Structure 1
Amino acid sequence: MNHFRLTFLSLLLSLSLSAQSLRILNFQGDTGYRHESQQAAKEMMSGLGRLHGWEILHLRESARITDEFLADIDVVIFNNNCGSEGPIFDAASAMALQRYVRGGGGWVGIHCAGAIRREAPDFLRWYRGLVGATFGGHPELQEATVGVEHHGHPATAALPDSMDFTDEWYFFEQSPRDRVNVLMSLDERTFSAPEKFRMGKDHPVTWYHHYDGGRAFFTALGHRPEVYRRADFQHMITGGIRWAAGYAAGHRLPVNNGLMVDLDARQGGQTNQRGRVVAWKNQVAGSPVQSFLPNDYGVRLSNPGSGRPRLVKTSTGSAVSFAEDELINEQEDALDHLMRGSGYTWLVVLKPYPTADPEGMTALGQSRLRDVNSFLGNLRNGGNYAGIWGCLEDDLTVWCGSRNGITFGRFDDNNPKVTGPQLEAGKFYVLAGRMGSGPGTVAIDLFVNAANPVASGRVPVNPRANPSRLAIGTERDATNHPGAESFDGEIARILIYERPLSDVELGRIMDMLRVQYEIKD
């Protein structure tokens, strides 16, 4: 990547955040060794503050870190400060920092922030969890290459695949990869160090994770003053701050053209006193598709109040947990045009549970349909069942399709089954389905975690197709057998566009969702 492109993308990032004023604590309190690069680190933060319109508070005295002081701080940065000869924090300031993080605060650690190691035992144990790893040491200062593993995060979005730094290459007692989301790693083939300073093929140097209620971003880079003056490093820190402040975990989408439905479990969910969802509101203003409500008619009348999913906490926020439950939108014809030529793209962030016994009966005494466990659909309840559906087989193999209503067959040319890989129970995925636009026969593609189709099919467009109301947690408004064709698992986000997104657009959204929900390949 050339310097102009990086500078241009950094400018775009600056402009996109100009309306988001942040109050940032740049903390550089330390004991013992003090890096000569601390002044450059401070100057970098002052410069980023001027560039983005952020208020930067510089502080060395940990005693000033109190609940009151942190109350209006958006992000706390530990900016290359070491604690090598005694504790930096007393009990009161340590507890204030912990309460700040547990209350949803954002933390960014740079270089020697990962080597603070003389604190009280309980706080040190917690702090090492915040960082994500335990410092082990470092070899002599030298140049080496770091590789970017993931470009979907704001910290790495405009960075090249690899960069050379002259730095002090920290190693850690063990790789944090199982606990954090790694963004950048050291290529140990490019440096010289004794075996005791090596981590082998897995040597992370930059990562992010949700921790104890808050958000933490850390990079081990930053020993030398010139590092803080590099545009790529400043871009990385800017993106890390942005994510830690919560903006990257917010609800702004990179593509809004054609968006009809945005169901986000972190907002818009209304529950009763038992924590059951009684309404899930679409976040797209002006859309004809509004709230999704429980199915309180048909067979459900035999057990009033049944079929309501639960709102549950996850490591990245909330999800709606379905178990023979469903939520139905009342707008009968709002999505008919998706099957009549406009095409569509849906995306779902979900975690499947093990499927219920397909030979068993539902809680309401209904027989289950084998290999049809639908997380969304708007099939018409009768006739040739025109509409969209996204489903799992009983072994959690994911599939999708569009039924054009010309024939009933399951499955035939008018009702293709586009089958992807088998998913793993208890793990979140980003799934997407896409149907092409226009008359004639169009493509249907299925995606899992990336904008490369894992399976494809084709379906004739029927301009008279007549789907029905959109259902979440099942394939249709099945008043006669609720729970029989239902998804068991958690849904954190659903997006539906009234057009087929391009591969580039779909990739941007899937990358964003993978970052937000910490989804790994």
Structure 2
Amino acid sequence: MKSRKILGIFLCLLLCAALSSAQDISSKQEVKFRVVAIAEPGNKDHQGFVEAAKAYLNRLAVENNFAVDYIGDTKPINDAFLAKYKLFIQLNYPPYMWSPTAQEAIESYLTEGKGGWIGFHHAALLGDFDGYSMSPFFSKFMGDIRYTSYIPDFATATVRVEDPAHPVLKGIPSSFVVQHEEWYTWNQSPRPNVRVLASVDESTYQPDSLIKMGGDHPAIWSNEHYKARNVYIFMGHHADLFENPNFVQIFHNAIFWAAGQ
């Protein structure tokens, strides 16, 4: 009888240990936050960057216990969809081709600070493209700008940090070189309407180009008129950017800052 009691106690202890272990495993599997990234499918010009970005995001998610989902258009986007995510990333998706429901949802998401936002490169392609008119909301969000041109043959240039205290630029030197980028120009600098974090030095273009902003050419900025933590990072055309440690660090910093982590 005594041996049965001892066995019962032993089995009970084993069961408790198993339950505790299972709870620990379950706890480890619960992600800290969720990210959704949108990338236009079939865009050969940016496909290399997108695939490299996805590989980087997937690795970072595993290392830091967050989850990433990917979409190829705005059809799934509404308030309920965005409510699942702490961060929305436009990897190469433009500010047009948005359904009315999706645009209304992202406007609410950003204006009310329901989550964070990171936009790369194509996110500032503001204008009338592919039969779509320019979005007044996205134009204002990006600093009241409109796309005018780009360097079709690309140029290597130096980016100069203007706001080293901002968390997105933590660990970044005062200047760094970006290779072979197709720098956009806009009708005006967004500077009066945004917090400029870094600018491209047009005098360093190699090869030189006549397509310039005229000296004031922001390349990374945040619009603090919106509750959402947001940052636009101009670079985003080539996969080679992921061989640039400064770009990778900026991407890393932006993810955790914009997600509020």
Matches within 5 A, 1:404-419: none
1:80 Cα deviation after fit: 1.9
Matches within 5 A, 1:457-496: none
Partners of 1:164 and 1:101 in 2: CA distance: 31
| SS across alignment from 1:45 | helix
| 2:53 paired with 1:41 | yes
| 2:85 paired with 1:73 | yes
Change (3 A) 1:154 1:179: same
Change (3 A) 1:222 1:40: same
1:93 Cα deviation after fit: 1.3
User: Which residue of 2 is the match for residue 193 of structure 1?
Assistant: 209
Is the CA contact (8 Å cut-off) linking 1:25 and 1:56 kept in structure 2? yes
User: Which residue of 1 is the match for residue 168 of structure 2?
Assistant: 155
Partners of 2:260 and 2:137 in 1: CA distance: 21
User: Which residue of 2 is the match for residue 24 of structure 1?
Assistant: 35
User: Which residue of 1 is the match for residue 100 of structure 2?
Assistant: 91
User: Which residue of 2 is the match for residue 216 of structure 1?
Assistant: 230
Percent of paired sites with the same residue:
27
Which of the two has higher C-alpha Rg?
A: 1
Is the CA contact (8 Å cut-off) linking 1:27 and 1:60 kept in structure 2? yes
Matches within 5 A, 1:364-383: none
Deviations 1:348-398 (A, max 9, x none): xxxxxxxxxxxxxxxxxxxxxxxxxxxxxxxxxxxxxxxxxxxxxxxxxxx
Change (3 A) 1:151 1:216: same
Is the CA contact (8 Å cut-off) linking 2:31 and 2:67 kept in structure 1? no
Instruction: For 2:40, give the aligned amino acid.
Output: G
Specify every segment of 5 or more residues in structure 2 that has no aligned partner in the other structure, as ranges: 1-29
1:34 Cα deviation after fit: 4.4
| SS across alignment from 1:97 | helix
User: Which residue of 1 is the match for residue 217 of structure 2?
Assistant: 203
Residue in structure 2 matching 1:175, options 182, 189, 197:
189
1:226 Cα deviation after fit: 0.8
Q: Kindly tell me the number of residue pairs found equivalent between the two proteins.
A: 223
Is the CA contact (8 Å cut-off) linking 1:141 and 1:169 kept in structure 2? yes
Deviations 1:215-234 (A, max 9, x none): 32001112111103432212
Is the CA contact (8 Å cut-off) linking 2:97 and 2:132 kept in structure 1? no
State the TM-score, normalized to the length of structure 2.
Answer: 0.77
| SS across alignment from 1:178 | helix
| SS across alignment from 2:214 | coil
Partners of 1:115 and 1:168 in 2: CA distance: 12
Partners of 1:20 and 1:55 in 2: CA distance: 6
Is the CA contact (8 Å cut-off) linking 1:222 and 1:228 kept in structure 2? no
| SS across alignment from 2:223 | strand
Instruction: For 1:95, give the aligned amino acid.
Output: E
Instruction: For 2:219, give the aligned amino acid.
Output: V
Instruction: For 2:112, give the aligned amino acid.
Output: G
| 2:146 paired with 1:134 | yes
Partners of 1:93 and 1:169 in 2: CA distance: 28
Which structure shows the bigger proportion of residues in strand conformation? Answer: 1
| SS across alignment from 1:64 | coil
| SS across alignment from 2:62 | helix
1:182 Cα deviation after fit: 0.9
| SS across alignment from 2:203 | helix
Deviations 1:297-332 (A, max 9, x none): xxxxxxxxxxxxxxxxxxxxxxxxxxxxxxxxxxxx
| SS across alignment from 1:214 | coil
Is the CA contact (8 Å cut-off) linking 2:148 and 2:185 kept in structure 1? yes
Instruction: For 1:25, give the aligned amino acid.
Output: V
| 2:63 paired with 1:51 | yes
1:242 Cα deviation after fit: 2.5
Partners of 2:58 and 2:243 in 1: CA distance: 12
Matches within 5 A, 1:269-308: none
Is the CA contact (8 Å cut-off) linking 1:30 and 1:88 kept in structure 2? no
Is the CA contact (8 Å cut-off) linking 2:116 and 2:230 kept in structure 1? yes
Partners of 2:122 and 2:149 in 1: CA distance: 11
Change (3 A) 1:20 1:201: farther
1:183 Cα deviation after fit: 1.1
State the TM-score, normalized to the length of structure 1.
Answer: 0.40
Partners of 1:171 and 1:63 in 2: CA distance: 30
Is the CA contact (8 Å cut-off) linking 2:118 and 2:254 kept in structure 1? yes
1:152 Cα deviation after fit: 0.7
| 2:121 paired with 1:108 | no
Which structure shows the bigger proportion of residues in helix conformation? Answer: 2
1:30 Cα deviation after fit: 6.1
Partners of 2:146 and 2:65 in 1: CA distance: 34
User: Which residue of 1 is the match for residue 135 of structure 2?
Assistant: 124
Deviations 1:212-258 (A, max 9, x none): 432320011121111034322121112222232234xxxxxxxxxxx
Deviations 1:269-289 (A, max 9, x none): xxxxxxxxxxxxxxxxxxxxx
| 2:183 paired with 1:143 | no
Partners of 1:108 and 1:170 in 2: CA distance: 18
1:144 Cα deviation after fit: 1.0
Partners of 2:184 and 2:108 in 1: CA distance: 28
Change (3 A) 1:120 1:91: farther
Partners of 2:230 and 2:139 in 1: CA distance: 11
Partners of 1:234 and 1:53 in 2: CA distance: 19
1:160 Cα deviation after fit: 0.9
1:154 Cα deviation after fit: 1.4
Change (3 A) 1:120 1:143: closer
